[in-house]
Amino acid sequence: MEIVVIWFRRDMRLDDHIALSKAITYAKKHEYKLFAFYHVDPFFTEMELDLNHEHFFQSLAHFVKEARESQVYVHLFHDDVLSAFQQVIDVYDIKAVFFNEDQVGIGQTRDHRVSDFLEGKGIHVSKWQDTHLHGARDILKADGSHYQVFTPYYQSWRKQEKQRVIKVDKSFFSSEHSICDESLSQKGEDKLKSIIKGCSRKFDQIGSDKAMNTLNTFIQKRLTHYHEKRDIPSVFGTSKLSRFLKTGTISIRTIFHAVNEGALYEDEGWEPFVKELAWRDFYHMIFAHYPEMKEKEINSSFQGVKWNGDETLFEAWCKGETGFPLVDAGMRQLNEEGWMHNRLRMVTASFLTKDYLIDWRKGEAYFAKKLVDYDESSNIGGFQWAASVGTDAVPYFRIFNPTTQSKRFDPTGQFIRRYVPELKHVDEKWIHEPSKMPIDEQIKSGCVLGDAYPLPTVDHQERRKQAISLFEEAKQQ
């Protein structure tokens, strides 16, 4: 039987999906059947499950169920990716494989490997850029080189036309036009069920319906005031769409055009939000041009920074026990929910690298395990920005003061009290620096320092001086 394969990956939806739309058009033209394929990669399934992967696999299970209810039987394969494709080749005559490509990281390496394998067998491979508004090589300078500073990149990005939402012909979703071969899917099916059974928590904010509801609610209720409230972690001021972009349960085009059409002309929140979408494209572009940036600082001047290897301090940061309330609240939010407010991502990353002087790679890897919206390009870019070692990064001598950040962005301590219950009854006067509380206040609030809540694990002013010296020393080498 002659078939066209649609290979789903981090694009778990049936709407606004370039590769799916193109695969259907191709299958209709040649009168081939459609075979939906998902590769459950052993690289990820053999890792210790943490919040990031638990969320991803639950989203996958939801998508498979949703797709099958729409008469698109997504076949699951748990094997080496080439072996998985070979299993299909052994049964069906594959004429073409369509997928939305990865342009960075191990996904790009896998895509090249699979493409070479398929083309070597005479199978047509059709790859599409679907995950970003603009791909890694779409926005370049006039001389063909890539941007390294965000502002000029954004100015060029804004001028470029954005692709419209893609129409998918769902009339093709039927047993007449698509393959359902349960025997081929059994091994992958069993593996996914096993993973879901082993999850430590259940996520309910998954799937395309929830994604669309979240988008519509954001446009109706929060977009207008996005610029005012997005930096305040105690209020629901952000879009909360990043987790859906991670799994592809909603497309970036759908978000951009809905916001563009739904915003009032005078909405001040529109451009700050759209700029965040551009940052996502920017860091993706940077990663494509610096494929080693996950392990190596982009700014070569700081590749020799002598980071602190103190594991006790690193563990305190991970657990949210640093003695700096806003830092601890942010880390505990991450550990509990698999998500952290963006302002706090900057605060906690800066604290790790500038107050603890600990290698940014360790923080990036910890976020990778926990964040349900983990985006490799953005997370690496963000950590290199905070650590002052990346492209267009904050200067190394500009160091966030965690107490000042706390007073500015959580003035009453509302967010701190939510995630650090030891400080729940601490007076607003002391909430940002509980170590300054007199002992009678400590007893009164039920928070004796060094017992109920840790004393500051470092002196910020001293560490600030050390950080500047550390970077200046690296520059001189």
Confidence of residue 450 (pLDDT cuts 50, 70, 90): very high
Residues 295/308, Cβ–Cβ less than 8 Å: no
Confidence (pLDDT) at 46 = 87
Please tell me the distance from the alpha carbon of residue 40 to that of residue 52, in angstroms, as a whole number. Answer: 15
Query: What is d(CA 237, CA 228) in angstroms, rounded to the nearest whole number?
Result: 8
Rounded (5°) CA angle 384-390-395 = 95
* Binding positions for FAD: 226, 238-242, 273, 276-283, 373-375
Decide if 349 contacts 386 (C-beta within 8 A).
yes
Question: What CATH code is assigned to 208-289?
Answer: 1.25.40.80
Tell me the pLDDT tens digit for each residue of 117-133: 999 999 999 999 999 99
- Quote the tokens at residue 283: 């860091």
- Cα 172 to chain centroid distance, Å, stands at 32
For residues 377 and 221, what is the distance between their CA atoms, to the nearest angstrom?
29
**Are 276 and 238 contacting, i.e. CB atoms less than 8 angstroms apart?**
no
Q: Domain residues of the chain, as ranges? A: 2-131+185-197, 208-289, 300-476
User: CA-CA distance, 477 to 475, in Å (whole number)?
Assistant: 6
Per-residue confidence band for 214, with pLDDT thresholds at 50, 70 and 90: very high
Q: Are 372 and 55 in contact (CB under 8 A)?
A: yes
DSSP 320-377: T-SS-HHHHHHHHHHHHHS---HHHHHHHHHIIIIIS-B-HHHHHHHHHHH-TT--HH
Arithmetic mean of pLDDT, 1-14: 97
Q: Given a cut of 70, is residue 30 above it in pLDDT?
A: yes
Residue 264's pLDDT is 62
Structure tokens at 56: 């991803």
State the CATH architecture for 2-131+185-197.
Answer: 3-Layer(aba) Sandwich (3.40)
Reading the block at residue 104, the tokens are 């960075």
Measured distance CA(196)–CA(57) in Å, rounded: 7
Q: Are 373 and 277 in contact (CB under 8 A)?
A: no
C-alpha–C-alpha distance, residues 401 and 323, integer Å: 13
Q: What are 230-265's pLDDT values in tens digits?
A: 999 999 999 999 999 999 999 999 999 999 987 765
Binding residue numbers: 226, 238-242, 273, 276-283, 373-375
Relative to beta strand 93-100, strand 74-77 is: unpaired
Q: What is the mean pLDDT of the chain?
A: 96
282-307 pLDDT per residue, tens: 999 999 999 999 999 999 999 999 99
DSSP structure string for 449-471: BTTTBPPPSS-HHHHHHHHHHHH
Higher per-residue confidence, 185 vs 266: 185
Residue 288 phi, psi (nearest 5): -65, -35
Q: 3.40.50.720, 1.10.600.10, 1.10.1040.10, 1.10.579.10: which CATH number matches 300-476?
A: 1.10.579.10
User: pLDDT digits over 380-435, tens only?
Assistant: 999 999 999 999 999 999 999 999 999 999 999 999 999 999 999 999 999 999 99
> What's the one-letter identity of residue 325?
P
